[in-house]
Chains A and B, each alone.
Chain A
Amino acid sequence: MESDIILRVNGREWPLRVDTRTTLLDALRERLGVTSPKKGCDHGQCGACTVLLDGRRINGCLVLAVACDGSEVVTAEGLGTDGELHPVQQAFVDHDGFQCGYCTPGQVCSAVGMLEEVAAGWPSAAGRPVADTPVLDDAEIRERMSGNLCRCGAYANIVTAVRAAKEVSR
């Protein structure tokens, strides 16, 4: 079964006819040539395909494209503006937050979405009472970034980069 949908990806509108079984990840990569979201597991376990869907971070492999009709999708390609890196991307450069770069587009999208969640007062499982205003210390960053695997093990610097990005966005 096929459906006609419209995806808005990094500010550009794409009318698409998709098999309803197509994931958002496959639609982005194979239909639109937007290849920054990576397929690390295709099962929602690695986070390499993390993109922002209407501002929220999601695993592209766990969402069907047909369910994103009319939605705004932002990937690592679309984070920066006017040739400038997004502050989170800049922080990853400044603090050597990655090595092979395969998980990185997902990490930066995840970090951008995560900082929004913190700003909106969302709780985490890092152990604080839910009612507390989130304080983004390293334990919180580690917990909140714990949907994105990095096999190069750049976590020490990812945590530093996210902390730095938070400082900039303050």
Chain B
Amino acid sequence: MSARMFGAPVQRTEDERLLTGRGAYLDDLGADAYAAVFVRSPHAHARVRDVDVTDALDVDGLIAVYTHEDLTGPMAEPLPLLLPHPCIVDGRTPHALAAGYVHHVGAPVAMVVARDRYLAEDAAERIAVDYEVLAPVVGIEAAVAAEHVVHAGMSDNVAAHLVQEVGDARAAIAAAPHRLELDLDIERSACTPMEGRGVYARWDEAGGSLRLYSSTQTASGVRAAVAAKLGLDVGRVEVVVPDVGGGFGVKIMHPWPEEVMVPWAARRLGHGVKWTEDRREHFIAAAHERGQRHTVRAGFDDEGRLLGLDVEILHDNGAYLPYGVIVPIVTSTQLLGPYKPGAYRVEFRSLYTTTVIVTPYRGAGRPQGVFAMERTMDAIADRLGRDRAEVREVNLIRPDEMPYDQGLLFQDGRPLVYDSGDYPRTLRMVKELIGWEGFAAERERARAEGRRIGIGLACYVEGTGPGPYEGGHVQVGTDGRVRVATGLTSQGQGHHTILAQIVADELGVAMSDVEVTTGDTRRMPYSVGTFASRGAVMSGSAVALAARKVREKALRVAADALEADPGDLEIAGGRVHVRGVPGAGMDLGTVAVLSNPLRYAFDEASRAATQFARPADHAAPPVPEGDAPGLEGTDFHSPLRSTFANGAHAVVVETDPETAEITILRYCVVHDCGRLVNPLIVEGQIHGGVAQGVAGALYERMAYDADGQLLNASFMDFLVPYASEIPPIRIAHLETPSPLNPLGVKGAGEAGVIPGAAVIASAIEDAEGFPVRSMPISPSDLFGLRRRFAAGEIPPLRRAERARGRRANETGEPDV
């Protein structure tokens, strides 16, 4: 029996190719394609009076210039409203090229195609666009004030509005023994994968078909969207996703204006066309996330038990709403985390601003929700003089309450029911890992040395693996190799490895005999995409189900050939044999040959499958009724609802008393994503998430000025951390299986990032002794807070006052 691959820390099959430079990313393809460049709006809000391309036409090597005027039919219409949620009040989407108005800096106005990128850039510079500048709407305050509106025909800037309520939260708060209110603020950030967006299209005139390569998180989505825009049958559009240099959410948005313009131009020109996004374009013309303001009102009892929670969310969705409405929906629902407030009311307004669109970034609204809930827990603890972990403990859903129905509708439109999890144990484990109990003494010792240290804690629950479905196709070749395809795409998560592990176990073959293809509509046309931590849950389950079908057929075909009972057979090491008699069997490759009855023999192997090879049952057709030729199977996983992973982070930070520099001393993670397919890969995902969480808490923000210009649109000014900023991370796993899929797995991709801002804010306020209510926090932000605190504009934490009182009593010094 071969060793089980599921659960083993198997090295990634992707690695060697990517390490030796044999990866093929979008810009590594299409060397002979024409290059496209987009002329983009320099204004946040303007009417386009005229586009004069005359000067560009002189550039040698220019192939074509397109503006909105050149587009007809569906191409001239706005791009689709991808998520038509009923909460949308007025859903605006952009045109492929500006149709009279631009609503953010970076909006595409014209497309230039030339022999190479240099020439295309030269020509683009010569295009003169005459703008009538209109009033910008930048930031949540301006959007709410609605002194100016982003979209003509609207009376305010509210794109979507939703209230969800379980119980009467406001009455519960009014009747509660204790009440508090918090105003919270999280700024914008962005995915900024190392590889930006990119599209390369080839039109096959003879076949009337399109081949599209895109650096996307959804091949099938792009296929359907492009087919609709170009008026093509989906069968005439193939989308192939090459290696993708990171996504983190931004590449699930589709179709981008560029993603429809490039294939449209390729078809029109009868020539390959490629567009590769540059870094500045990615900052100003792709998508951001995170920007939200919350007002939290909480009512609680003497133990800190939440009796009522009322949260109002203002969400900046940027200029359009093709996809982004999902972000405040996720925030509203995932804010609850592992807790069970007596009553809950949440209301959000999603607001248009004249800034680039907001679509999910790893965590997708959860970091903001967790920030709100965990700040609330800390504030309750401080109000009551209780330990912060204790207050969380009394609010946790217990394991015996699972499945737990929160009474809301989740982002997939299905009930927010937690399937499994042991939240109290998660909390206990993270306290142990970080050294929670002994920390008060540690903090006092540091203080005696003139150092400020603080500890923070944050818990979260993450709905992962939403439907509607994902598919798997598993085929055993006559060479005995197993080819697996699933439709969702891969951006570094190691899908090829974990799917091979799963199939290797199910079929009893070596992992090295399994080849996996992702994101290729030629191999698996039915798919949704890679988002919401759904790769392992959805495609993992789908390929397992498909492999089980193949296994069943392999046993059946082999049993027939071996004149044995299928129940007496097993598959191991790529061979089907009679259980306990390894000699009595045949290779899977031979089974594949026999599973496809042939008229013609092509080689020695296929001779065995011809009609003359062996006596046939003349009462039955060569391919039995209900069966199909070939040793292959397709199946789909369509879950009842999302599965809910959970975890807790704890951190110890040090803040420099002079410079306000913030240093992470210890970072601990307890993580439960159900059964682990590959701990090595899960830990890599956690490391990456934590790095982005730390980045969002301490370094990254989008600095728009009042005119809607993004002032830090480069890696020089938008501070993605380097190795020098990211601390070592201690991880402990819990494995509470999910009952909702055949593997018992939950998603792991986003978890690491979710509590980042919450846990670091918790630790900084512990070190400083005053509340931290907005993130990110830079040394200069902290310095500013200290000044306001010293000036009496910010109240101290009560526990800091109490500690000071204790110190004063012990030393006999007056309490100041």
Contacts and interface: CB of A to CB of B under 8 A. Distances in A.
A53 interface: no
Contact of A89 (B19, B28, B681): B19
Interface string A90-105: 0011101011111111
B18 A155 contact: no
A73 interface: no
A30 interface: yes
A96 B12 contact: yes
A154 B689 CA distance: 9
Interface stretch (B321-329, B382-390, B712-720): B712-720
B194 A150 contact: yes
B494 A99 contact: yes
B722 A105 contact: no
Interface string B586-630: 000000000000000000000000000000000000000000000
B723 A77 contact: no
Interface residues of B, number: 58
A115 to B, nearest CB: 15
Given A40-B195, A94-B11, A100-B244, A152 B19 contact: no
Nearest to B11: A93
A71 interface: no
Contacts of A52: none
Contact of A85 (B16, B687, B692): B16
B704 interface: no
Contacts of B12: 93, 96
A46 B279 CA distance: 10
A142 B664 CA distance: 14
B245 interface: yes
Interface in B1-31: 11-12, 14-16, 18-25, 27-28, 31
Q: Say whether chain A's binding surface is mostly helix, strand, loop, or mixed.
A: loop
Contacts of B276: 39
B25 A157 contact: no
Contact of B723 (A41, A42, A145): A145
A93 B25 contact: no
Contacts of A45: 279, 714-716
B158 to A, nearest CB: 33
A143 B724 contact: yes
A92 B722 contact: no
A27 interface: no
B28 A35 contact: yes
Given A43-B714, A98-B18, A159 B688 contact: no
A108 interface: yes
Contacts of B18: 98, 101, 104
Contact of A102 (B194, B278, B726): B194
B729 to A, nearest CB: 6
Contacts of A19: 118
Nearest to A48: B194
B691 interface: yes
B61 to A, nearest CB: 13
B245 A80 contact: no
A101 B729 CA distance: 21
A153 B194 contact: no
A120 B684 CA distance: 33
Contacts of B74: none
A158 B195 CA distance: 19
A57 interface: no
Interface string B246-278: 101000000000000000000000000000101
Given A41-B279, A77-B21, A153-B687, A100 B194 contact: yes
A19 B119 CA distance: 13
A76 interface: yes
A36 interface: yes
Q: Say whether chain B's binding surface is mostly helix, strand, loop, or mixed.
A: loop
A33 interface: yes
B237 interface: no
A147 interface: yes
B15 A38 contact: no
A148 to B, nearest CB: 7
Given A100-B492, A108-B19, A46 B691 contact: no
A58 interface: no
A151 B193 contact: yes
A96 B684 contact: yes
B623 to A, nearest CB: 43
Given A45-B716, A151-B194, A92 B278 contact: no
Contacts of B279: 40-43, 45-46
A150 B690 CA distance: 13
A156 interface: yes
B21 A35 contact: yes
Contacts of B491: 100
B194 A33 contact: no
B245 A102 contact: yes
A155 B687 contact: yes
Contacts of B494: 99
Contacts of B218: none
B493 interface: yes
A98 B245 CA distance: 11
Interface string A68-96: 00000001110110000100010011101
Contacts of A29: 27-28
A149 interface: yes
- Residue in B25, B194, B714 whose Cβ sees the most chain A Cβ within 10 Å: B194
B689 A99 contact: no
Interface in A106-131: 108
Contacts of A147: 722
Contact of A100 (B19, B195, B692): B195
Contacts of B116: 30
B492 A152 contact: yes
B14 A101 contact: yes
B220 interface: no
B722 A148 contact: yes
A149 B688 contact: no
Contact of A104 (B19, B193, B684): B19
Given A93-B19, A100-B244, A145-B723, A38 B684 contact: no
B19 A155 contact: no
B709 interface: no
A141 interface: yes
Contacts of A3: none
Nearest to A159: B723
Contact of A80 (B20, B25, B194, B195): B20
Nearest to B492: A100
Given A149-B720, A156-B729, A92 B15 contact: yes
Interface string B484-526: 0000000111100000000000000000000000000000000
4 tightest A-B CB contacts, nearest first: A36-B21, A153-B691, A100-B492, A102-B245
23 contacts: A30-B116, A33-B31, A35-B21, A35-B28, A38-B27, A39-B27, A41-B714, A41-B715, A42-B279, A76-B19, A77-B22, A93-B15, A96-B680, A96-B684, A99-B246, A99-B494, A99-B685, A105-B21, A151-B191, A151-B692, A155-B691, A155-B723, A156-B729
Interface of A: 19, 29-30, 33-36, 38-43, 45-46, 48, 75-77, 79-80, 85, 89, 92-94, 96, 98-105, 108, 138, 141-143, 145-159
Given A40-B279, A145-B722, A156-B726, 11 more contacts: A38-B25, A41-B279, A41-B714, A46-B279, A92-B19, A100-B243, A105-B19, A108-B19, A148-B723, A152-B246, A153-B688
